[in-house]
Amino acid sequence: MDARVANDRVVDVRFFPDDDDPHVTLSLRFPDGKETRMRRKLRETIGAAFARLRSTAAKRRGCGSATTAPTAAALSRDDGDVSEDVPHVDAWTEGSVMTIDGVRYRVRVNAPEVTGVVSVDFPMVGYPLAATATGTTFCEQDDVVFAWSVDGEEVGETGRFYTPTSADVGKRLVVEARGARHRETGEVCGGAVTFEFSVVVSELGVDRRDATERLAPASASSSAATTYRIMTYNVLADAYSHTWSTMFPYFAKDLSKAERRLQLVCEDILFADADVVALQEVDKKWYELLFEPLLTSRGYIATEWAGKSGKTAEGCAVFFRASTFPAIVSERVIQLTKMRDANVARWIEEETNVELAKALDKITSIAQLIKVRTASGGALCVGNTHLFFHPGAMHVRVLQAHEFVRRANEHAGEDTPLVLCGDFNGEPEDGVIRYLRCGEIDASDEDWVRGSLFRWGGTSSRDAAKDIYYILDDGRGYAVDANVKVTNALELQRLNERSIAMSLCARTLEKDWGATCKCDEVTESTSPIVDVKKHVKAGCTFKNCHKVAAFTLRRESALEPGLTMTDDDLAAARRAFADVKRAADAGLEDLTNRQRVLADSLRSDDPSSSAHPIGCGARLRIARDLVSAGGFPEWTNYVGGFVGALDYVWASARDFTPRAVSPLPPLTAVTENVALPNACFPSDHVPIVVDVERRTDRKEARLRSASRG
């Protein structure tokens, strides 16, 4: 190569033929140090681009250049000069030379580019950090050359990862992406960019043994080839952190930073050492910056991040230990809002199910279905989901579980064993879990009837707050309908919502930490109606403000307007609540009886049908028996106001025998700081880790090969 072509005199030509607008970019640095980048159509001739380059180069030479001779631009290859009529797509080749203004530039084709670098901005001793290059083209993270330094001093080759040591405490970390290796030439190019951590390296400072030790292998696996360790973990999406001051007021702000919290989640995952790691509530950002790089560096292969539908940047992801499951054969994301079961779909469209249809339209639940190859050449199908959360939508969860299992069975095919993980938002006695456990649910099940009272946005504390705004300052519109008799389903629905609102208000009033509203500075007048509106305007609801809760409860109990409750008021409210509750319960019982009579009269035992809707319910069947590999623990979710088991690992019963399950952590460690999450437990859920043994039934294997032959 010509000696005059200096190493840094390069024109980078990058082709983007698959773009919506197929184009090429030309980037170069003029002798005066200024950079230029042009974007041209792929089919355009190089002559047109050169005309632009000539005029730019002429400007670069400075003013008064009008008298200088016109700038020449040309491209030459080993086989001679390239005509200006040749389109970009055919003109540029690696190592050819472009000349402008007498200056020669080496042509580099499709060189990598890196425009930024980021990491998890909370370095802690012993916690591995991943750096991630951003704005990358023509390279993967593995091609990027990273360099880490502590207080300006470079540490040895660590690649994309660095684990701070105790010698680093109090020091400042910087990671640099020095460019990326060109796939063909191996040359490092693409520019250097750095990320300086905003906080110095620190120690975690708490003892997490109560959280992690339980996750360690419970039993030495005797035959590693036939025992799989499965972990399911709702890691608490940072996307909802704006609600935590209300939901987890006991969870200190400095502990709740995603950068700190989710590194503890990763520690849990690495501690459990599972073959399958099914995560829910994974933020897209943290999948990319933390979970995916870290776990793939530790021998896992990852599914794509599977986001919920709509705008929520939170979803599911599954990781497989590559030595157990060398390859993902197929993965798909299904919506748990569109029911493929034709009988169910038709039923949802019925006029009486309009509220259900409306809710399903708004719900964003999805599930992942993944088929992987086992090391011995077999297959496993894994499902991962997070069912709709609303306590009143128990019927939705039954339908979602039905759709999830049906589709998982389809995806698996008849012979492939099945493992279904997730946060099912149901406790063992709830319809959804009874259904999965028993393999069927009756059309007269109480959860169908209760669910039929659900209305999207029904008992929303925010709607209730808005409602307060419509009360006139003179009190008109204050009194609610005191009639607590129920004659039809719609009235029952209203009464039910009223009863829920009353109990939620009472719960807020009971809590010391309920009064975390941001309205301390509201000045009081003589009118509670005027005052409560100030709270509502400040964003208070009956869920986060004692005063709004008191006002709402007084109104529902037909007491004078006010922002506090005396003991007498509370007694009166309790009586009013009892009346409402009694009427609602009677209405529910009546509705349940009617549904039972209807279901009995139309009962069908058609075994070919997986769904048989009757009235407000449906008889559903699961084609394959499932077993809860972790059994039915007392709880997996422990927050202020709710304690219950919501997380499960279901395995196809004919293929697996449950062998071990991680015990629950000691309650004292959980309640030390009221509830979860806290300094040691990074999520409001604890992970469930189970060992399942694959049945290597020879007779079954013979049957299977016979049926194939």
Residues that bind Zn ion (CB under 5 A): 517, 519, 535, 540, 545
Would you say 182 or 535 has its CB closer to Zn ion?
A: 535
Query: How far, in Å, CA of 171 to CA of 152, rounded?
Result: 9
* Closer of 316 and 549 to Zn ion (Cβ): 549
Nearer to Zn ion, 456 or 513 (CB): 513
Whose CA is closest to 114, among 130, 149, 138, 142?
Answer: 138
CB of 535 closer than 8 Å to CB of 519: yes
Q: How far is the CB of 311 from Zn ion (least distance, A)?
A: 29
- Which of 114/517 has CB closer to Zn ion? 517
Cβ 412 to Zn ion shortest distance, Å: 52
**Least distance from Zn ion to the Cβ atom of residue 547, Å:** 5
- CB-wise, 235 or 545, nearer to Zn ion? 545
Residue 535 beta carbon to Zn ion: minimum distance, rounded to whole angstroms:
4
Q: How far is the CB of 242 from Zn ion (least distance, A)?
A: 17
How large is the C-alpha radius of gyration of the chain? 32
- CB 671: neighbour CB atoms within 10 A? 13
> Minimum distance between the CB of residue 533 and Zn ion, rounded to whole angstroms?
11
Residues in the chain: 709
Q: What angle do CA 234, 236, 240 make, to 5 degrees?
A: 145
Q: Give me the half-sphere count of Cα atoms (radius 13 Å) on the Cβ side of residue 644.
A: 14
Give me the amino acid identity at 242: H
Name the 3-class secondary structure at 157.
coil
The secondary structure of 224-247, three-state, reads CCCEEEEEEEECCCHHHHHHHHHH
Residue placing its CB nearer to Zn ion in the complex, 495 or 517: 517
Least spacing, CB of residue 507 vs Zn ion, in Å = 16
Q: How far is the CB of 253 from Zn ion (least distance, A)?
A: 20
Which CB, 278 or 536, lies closer to Zn ion?
536
* Neighbour tally for 204: CB within 10 Å: 16
Render 24-80 in DSSP notation, one character per residue.
EEEEEE-TTS-EEEEEEETTSBHHHHHHHHHHHHHHHT-TTGGGSPPPPEEEEETTE
**Which of 82, 28, 81 lies closest to 57 in space, CA to CA?**
28
CA atoms of 107 and 361, how far apart (whole Å): 54
Compute the least distance from the CB of residue 248 to Zn ion, in Å. 19
What gap in Å lies between CA 269 and CA 295, rounded to an integer? 9
Minimum Å distance from CB 634 to Zn ion?
Answer: 35
CB 693 within 8 A of CB 655: no
Assess contact for 419 and 411: CB atoms under 8 A. no
With contact defined as beta carbons under 8 Å apart, do 300 and 322 qualify? yes
* Nearest-approach distance from CB 642 to Zn ion, in angstroms: 23
Print the SS3 string covering 426-447: CCCCCHHHHHHHHCEECCCCHH
| Closest approach of Zn ion to the CB of residue 534, in Å | 8
The single residue listed with the structure tokens 């180069």 is: 57
The minimum distance between CB 563 and Zn ion, in angstroms, equals 9
Q: Answer yes or no: are the C-beta atoms of 90 and 115 closer than 8 Å.
A: no
Question: Could you give the maximum distance between any two Cα atoms of the chain, in Å?
Answer: 101
Find the helix or strand (DSSP H, E) in which 197 lies.
Answer: none
As measured in angstroms, the least distance from the Cβ of 532 to Zn ion is: 8
Residue 3, classified by CB atoms within 10 Å of its CB into exposed (0-12), middle (13-18) or buried (19+), is exposed
Tokens read off for 276: 């399958």
Q: How far is the CB of 365 from Zn ion (least distance, A)?
A: 33
Whole-number Å distance between alpha carbons of 156 and 571: 70
Q: Which is nearer to Zn ion, 542 or 638 (CB)?
A: 542
Nearer to Zn ion, 492 or 545 (CB): 545
Kindly tell me which of 514 and 658 has the beta carbon lying closer to Zn ion: 514
Pick the closest to residue 271 from 231, 317, 329, 242 (CA basis): 231
| Whole-number Å distance between alpha carbons of 285 and 313 | 8
Q: Per the structure block, which two tokens stand in for 505?
A: 């208000």
Pairing of strands 10-16, 103-109: parallel
- Using the minimum distance from each CB to Zn ion, give the nearer residue, 432 or 540: 540
CA distance 8 to 11: 9
